[in-house]
Chains A and B, each alone.
Chain A
Amino acid sequence: MGKKLLLEHINVPGIQSLEVYRKMGGYASVEKAIKTMSPDEIVEEVKKSGLRGRGGAGFPTGMKWSFLAKPAGIPRYLVCNADESEPGTFKDRYLMEKIPHALIEGMITSSFALGANTSYIYIRGEYFYVSRIIERAIEEAYAAGWLGKNILGSGYDLDMYVQVGGGAYICGEETALLESLEGKRGNPRIKPPFPAIKGLYDCPTVVNNVETIAAVVPIVNHGGDEYAKIGIGKSTGTKLISAGGNINKPGVYEIELGVSVEEFIFSDEYCGGIPDGRKLKACVPGGSSVPILPADLLLKTSTGENRLMSYESLSEGGFATGSMLGSGGFIVYDERACIVRSTWNYSRFYHHESCGQCSPCREGTSWMEKILHRLEYGHGRSEDIDLLWDIQRKIEGNTICPLGDAAAWPVAAAIRHFRHEFEYHAKFPEKVKDTKHTPPPMPIRVAVG
């Protein structure tokens, strides 16, 4: 059993309540931080921990915190990104629903470290019932004096609010989230200026993912060095992985970074293998935006090493043979899955979710969806494959926010690793007209890279 830092007490009856959460040692990090540490010391511990943002990009949290501007007389904000809309990702929902005070505790400790007196938790609107759970937890925390004026007699004041969104994937992008929190359309802002300088209401702001904020609790409790001992290399600590698709035991697992992908998929401690003894075909290991990998490259890197669940190992080989840890949305495909249909599904998603500000993203996602649709439904041409390649290349890197890249990468990776399936669709339209068609067998890989 790997070490559990976030989900250790998840099965304790009543852990949703402040009373039981406290009994299990909850809110110790707030006491320790406020009574014995200076804000800068906390930032230092987070830096030492090596914690990287759990929202998807993996940016070092301590470094992000140290960029926060601190002009006198101007409020600073901490905003929690609980928009969780990356397909395949449902870990934040699990954490907030099962152990809401872990987020509230992390928010208080982090807000103190950043000198924020007001914090917002922006939750995707579809998670309305979760917002109620968080609101109740916040009320309990106020009643017990963990929030409000003069917390623990320290003179530190903090107010915390929940904000629900309106249903838009793009609002997970941090500047779109801030626009949305200001009551506007979720159009990402041009950076710089970064939120650390000009964020919510033009004030210095830190935006962090739910899991990142919850991880601050064990870091403050045990110290950054202790946290950094867990995991592997620069992938320190534990990570929540939400596993779905064709596996026996879908769900949220807390892993020590560095577990092998093979163990994660096949062991009974985690996914429990593929149903009905079918073969593993492919996997999108970090949420829909990261490249898909065929089974062989998923389990071993191009150099023949075991592939591990870590930032470095999953991206080993770059996009030629690797992928990314991303948000930890782990989507497993068995041998029946048609990669063209999957790619069309993703393109439809990104087309639907593009905010429309940049023409490469707005038009490109629409074209990709159309072309993939016609290939999938048996009206494609073999030139379509090169056309798709060309379009995705022209989107990548040419847009205001990374949604453009996120739309391009799944298409590129699918063509890179499963080109034969696209060709099969173009060549044998009558064989793919049925929406449940069987994909062609995987060709023997001659050389990788």
Chain B
Amino acid sequence: MSNQTVNFSEEAIAECHKIIKRYPAGKHKSALLPILHIAQAENEGWLSSATMDKVAEIIGITSVEVYEVASFYSMYNLKPVGKCVLEVCRTVPCWLNGAEELVSYLEKKLNIKAGETTKDGMFTIKTVECLGSCGTAPMLQCGANYHENLTNEKTDALLEQLKAENARKSYTDII
């Protein structure tokens, strides 16, 4: 299992140890969710079992404790994803304002279905539930950024910009 490479920069490891200190003695497991976000950002946007084993080692808990948590929450990807994951909200308030049309538009434009990744590994479309941006629908999240009040033109411009930047987007990107 553990023949996949795992990346953790020195700064990332230091950040993990800083997080662990936020909790009372013996409660280091509390650091798991924040550290999984760092692990995912450091490892191409997803968590392999080798990456999760490394997280277990950093925190000092068992691997099973990491797997069961990672599989519960929707922000952790357990399979490879594109550099830019386009997370489109499709819950009712967004639906009332064109979320379904936005998903179809992206599907047509990128020539993939929701849940899939483009061949060049650039984009993944993921449908998600309410992101707390219901007043600015339709919208999508990519990394840390919310892109709101999307029209077809704005969506085109966003895709162009992401392609030009050609960078992986992570939730932990500071903006």
Task: Given A88-B92, A88-B134, A129-B145, check contact A166 B73 (CB 8 Å).
Answer: yes
Residues A90 and B36 in contact, CB atoms below 8 Å apart: no
Specify the chain A residue showing the minimal Cβ separation from B21.
A161
Task: State A87–B92 Cα separation when bound (angstroms).
Answer: 7
Q: Is the CB of B135 within 8 A of A251?
A: yes
Beta-carbon nearest neighbor of A182 in chain B: B30
A183 contacts B by Cβ under 8 Å: yes
Task: State the interface size on chain B (CB cutoff 8 A).
Answer: 46
Residues of A with C-beta under 8 A to B141? 126
Chain B residue contacts of A337, Cβ below 8 A: 96
Smallest CB separation, B75 vs chain A (Å): 4
Cβ-defined contact, A125 with B96, below 8 A: no
Min CB distance B92 to A, Å, is: 5
Which of B36, B68, B174 lies in contact with A185, CB distance below 8 A? B68
For the complex, give the distance between the alpha carbons of A244 and B132 in Å: 11
A-B pair count, CB < 8 Å, reads 150
Per DSSP, chain A at the interface is mixed
Q: Which residues of B contact A88 (CB under 8 A)?
A: 92-93, 130, 134
Q: Establish whether residues A90 and B134, one from each chain, have CB atoms under 8 Å apart when the complex forms.
A: yes
Answer yes or no: A181 CB below 8 A from chain B CBs: yes
Segment 125-166 of A: residues with Cβ below 8 Å from B: 125-129, 132, 161, 163-166
Report Cα–Cα, A263/B35, bound state, in Å. Answer: 47
B129 at the interface (CB under 8 A from A): yes
- CB-CB < 8 A to A284: which residues of B? 92
B72 near A185: Cβ-Cβ < 8 Å = yes
Complex: how many Å from CA A339 to CA B78?
35
B29 touches A183 (CB 8 A): yes
- Compute how far the CA of A169 lies from the CA of B72 in the bound complex, rounded to whole angstroms: 11
The residues of B that contact A93 with a CB separation of less than 8 Å are: 132-133
Which chain B residues have a beta carbon within 8 Å of chain A's beta carbons? 22, 24, 27, 29-34, 36-37, 61, 65, 68-69, 72-76, 90-93, 95-97, 100, 128-137, 141, 144-146, 171-172, 174-175
